[in-house]
Structure 1
């Protein structure tokens, strides 16, 4: 066992604080990873604060993990000590259902095992995430970080990157297509970058002018203020082949559905409060309203390789682990451009 420095929440209302956990030595097929960086996802905050249901505490969040292999167990064939690797949102699945066999472990019929707040399938113990200095994971659920990707800016690709890449590929975005992105946060900024790299014409849809300059700097071809203005909806009627909706606040889907071409697809990535969808918004132009989670291991590796080949990385703010509670408060205020990433070297100072 390896004593490992971490930061954990001990209740839904307590700040994250130093904690020590034990990571097991790698068993057959497993690798021990020295964590170098870990991204801070909005879902980390929701989970530790119990927004999505009661949790077991202490809880160590973090599922955008990058580092280097420190040790390998018997039978490991894909990785060797020193390799740059990553771990995303899950660390196991049943491996036997149709979804796992198809390489879509995120939709495992028995439920994927979350990198944190899950249950280890062999021991039944709670899984603990990447706000720590080590993690032990089976090689089947480890990603290779390609050369050329800076580790700190690659970390958010393991959640924000794959969450936007998967629907773009699954729903068939093509070069020359018109893509709209609703919301310009951690997910939205990756949607813009990936859409541009895939050759689409990308428009950011926002409720205010405040992010126009940022959107264009990220590579968006256009920026439109929508809000609740019906005139904006009419101006953009039947313009887009696809809309990626990353917004987490409640909003009117019908307004955006009207901006889709015939056979267009709007994909929900956020999970706001329910809203009523008028049948006419779909029926009158054979539109689709869909949802998408993250991606499987195969698809995530494809995304990482694409990002390395096309120079796509996340825009980040590197922080020390001691600043994590302040980072959470800033996330609530949308005061980050566009992802906090923890420098695991700072655990020594903490």
Structure 2
């Protein structure tokens, strides 16, 4: 077994704190990774505080991981020692169901194995995530981080990046289409960058007028304050696609009416409470779609990383030491980050050596 060190919560009401544990020794197809950076996702907070239910404690979160390969199993073919790699939201799946066979491991019909909060496929035990110094993962669930991407700013691509890239690709966003992005947070700012790189005309919807300048700088062509009913009416029946990234209950009808005939609105924000009920006539009168999307498969995640490298896209980040992660959670609740916290694991090494 490998001695490991990280930050974990012991229950839903206690802060993250230093935690010693063990990882398995690499098996023949495993990759051992020294974690350099780990992004802080809003779902980390939801899980740690048991807001979605089903949290296993101790809970050591983190699924936006970038690190260096330090050891590989005897049958590993894709990676070698020294490679810069990433690990996202999954570390395993059944690999035999229809979804897995089609490269859609995120929809595994048995249930994928989360990078943290388990359960592991073979033992049923808990999994521990990226707020730690080392992780061991089957090579099939490890991603290659392309040259040219800043390792710290690439970490959020493993969740925020693929969460927004996947629906943009699935609904075939193309040059010249009109695409709306609802919310300018960790997910929203990635959606703006990606949709712009795909050639779309991008409109950012926000409740905060002070986000206009940032949205334009990130690539939005227009910014609409969603509380301005007149500004919203201007865009009725005009969007090919809208990606809703907001992780709080809100009125979906105000955006559905903006879709053109056959337009689609896809939800990727995951609030703890339900959205208000929608009006069915806003769907059937224009054959509109209201759908959801969950991260992406491993092949698509690699495609996203390569796309980001080709277009020079990374997340906008604030790098923090692990010792400030609880403060980061409170700031995240106040939307006080532009636009993703990333933990520098060098700070964890200093603490474990103390």
What range describes the TM-score normalised by the shorter chain of this pair? over 0.9
Q: Which residue does the alignment assign to 2:246? A: 247
Q: Is the 8 A contact 1:233 1:258 kept in 2?
A: no
3-state SS, counterpart of residue 21 of structure 1: strand
Asked if 1:315 corresponds to 2:316, the answer is yes
Instruction: Provide the rounded CA distance (Å) in 2 between the counterparts of 1:134 and 1:249.
Output: 33
Q: Which residue does the alignment assign to 1:135? A: 135
3-state SS, counterpart of residue 278 of structure 2: coil
Measured against aligned partners, the alpha-carbon deviations of 1:210-245 in whole angstroms (never above 9, x if no partner) come to: 200110111111101112x54333211012110000
TM-score, normalising length from structure 1?
0.98
Q: Which residue does the alignment assign to 2:237? A: 238
Instruction: Provide the rounded CA distance (Å) in 1 between the counterparts of 2:173 and 2:132.
Output: 37
3-state SS, counterpart of residue 43 of structure 2: helix
Q: Aligned ranges for residues 199-210 of structure 1 at < 5 Å?
A: 199-210=199-210
Q: Which residue does the alignment assign to 1:72? A: 72
Instruction: Provide the rounded CA distance (Å) in 1 between the counterparts of 2:277 and 2:342.
Output: 36
Q: Which residue does the alignment assign to 1:277? A: 278
Instruction: Provide the rounded CA distance (Å) in 2 between the counterparts of 1:233 and 1:339.
Output: 28
Root-mean-square deviation (CA, aligned residues, Å) is: 0.9
Q: Which residue does the alignment assign to 2:291? A: 290
Q: Which residue does the alignment assign to 1:260? A: 259
1:69 Cα deviation after fit: 0.6
1:274 Cα deviation after fit: 2.9
Instruction: Provide the rounded CA distance (Å) in 2 between the counterparts of 1:274 and 1:329.
Output: 23
1:5 Cα deviation after fit: 1.4
Measured against aligned partners, the alpha-carbon deviations of 1:190-211 in whole angstroms (never above 9, x if no partner) come to: 0000001111110101113120
Q: Is the 8 A contact 2:157 2:314 kept in 1?
A: yes
- Runs ≥4 residues deviating over 4 A: none
Measured against aligned partners, the alpha-carbon deviations of 1:254-280 in whole angstroms (never above 9, x if no partner) come to: 110111111111001112323211111
Unaligned ranges ≥5, structure 2: none
- Aligned in 2, Cα 1:49/1:222: closer, same or farther, shift over 3 Å? same
Q: Is the 8 A contact 1:239 1:261 kept in 2?
A: yes
3-state SS, counterpart of residue 179 of structure 1: strand
1:4 Cα deviation after fit: 1.1
Instruction: Provide the rounded CA distance (Å) in 2 between the counterparts of 1:26 and 1:48.
Output: 27
Instruction: Provide the rounded CA distance (Å) in 1 between the counterparts of 2:285 and 2:201.
Output: 25
Instruction: Provide the rounded CA distance (Å) in 2 between the counterparts of 1:31 and 1:37.
Output: 17
Q: Which residue does the alignment assign to 1:332? A: 333
1:107 Cα deviation after fit: 0.1
Q: Which residue does the alignment assign to 1:221? A: 221
3-state SS, counterpart of residue 236 of structure 2: coil
Q: Which residue does the alignment assign to 1:158? A: 158
Q: Is the 8 A contact 1:182 1:205 kept in 2?
A: yes
